[in-house]
């Protein structure tokens, strides 16, 4: 999958997303987005994830001349409450106490923006995750490590101690890592097919 007719740009500095895209052989540039990631009240978590992913991709696409920009946003939802990235050590602990012994949902919105045509494609993946009961000592140690601070819901599941908190995953595992590869690959193929079709129609 490494060869494409147009450059790919990842609008994220997430090392997990970078690793997953390299895993499937993609070559891409990284240009982190500075877009506002504030969630909008009155819409669903899935809509919020898609909305922020699109905002990130549009933000980066606005400064380029060509290419396809990849935007993504992952959120954790517990009882309809969105848990984003913790803003402090105390906030990380609060989230982990909330998740302890409970099931929650992980949503990742993914978006593609073609710079030249401004065409957009987006999708959302949902995965259910169950935490075992956590002790206060575990929560304190994990929060003190600093690892939860750049992760939605204050935990990681790959290459991270947070993996030992997870009892069950129902759905796409990579979605919990931060990027649903299966959903993304289908979305990217759809985008490339649409661009090829448009190019052919312009030549007729």
Residues recognised as catalytic = 73
Written as six digits, the tokens of 200 are: 């052919």
Report how far apart, in Å, the C-alpha atoms of 86 and of each of 36, 141, 201 are: 16, 16, 48
Written as six digits, the tokens of 131 are: 């935490």
Which helix (H) or strand (E) covers residue 110, if one does?
Answer: strand 103-114
User: Among residues 102, 97, 106, 81, which one has the least CA distance to residue 167?
Assistant: 102
Close Cβ partners of 187 (under 8 Å, ≥ 6 residues apart): 110, 112, 121, 122, 123
């Amino acid at each position: 999958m490494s060869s494409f007719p147009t450059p790919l740009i990842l609008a994220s500095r997430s090392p997990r997303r970078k690793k997953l895209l390299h895993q499937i052989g993609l070559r891409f540039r990284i240009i982190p987005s500075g877009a506002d990631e504030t969630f909008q009240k009155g819409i669903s978590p899935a809509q919020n994830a898609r909305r922020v992913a699109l905002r990130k991709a549009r933000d980066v696409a606005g400064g380029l001349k060509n290419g396809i920009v990849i935007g993504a946003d992952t959120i954790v939802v517990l009882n309809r409450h969105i848990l984003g990235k913790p803003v402090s050590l105390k906030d990380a602990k609060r989230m982990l106490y909330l998740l302890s012994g409970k099931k929650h949902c992980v949503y990742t919105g993914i978006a593609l923006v073609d710079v030249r045509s401004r065409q957009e494609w987006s999708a959302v993946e949902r995965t259910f995750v169950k935490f075992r009961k956590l002790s206060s000592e575990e929560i304190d140690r994990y929060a003190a490590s600093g690892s939860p601070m750049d992760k939605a819901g204050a935990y990681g599941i790959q290459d991270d101690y947070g993996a030992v908190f997870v009892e069950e995953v129902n759905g796409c595992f990579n979605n919990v890592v931060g990027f649903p590869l299966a959903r993304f690959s289908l979305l990217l193929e759809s985008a490339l097919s649409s661009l090829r079709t448009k190019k052919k129609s312009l030549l007729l």
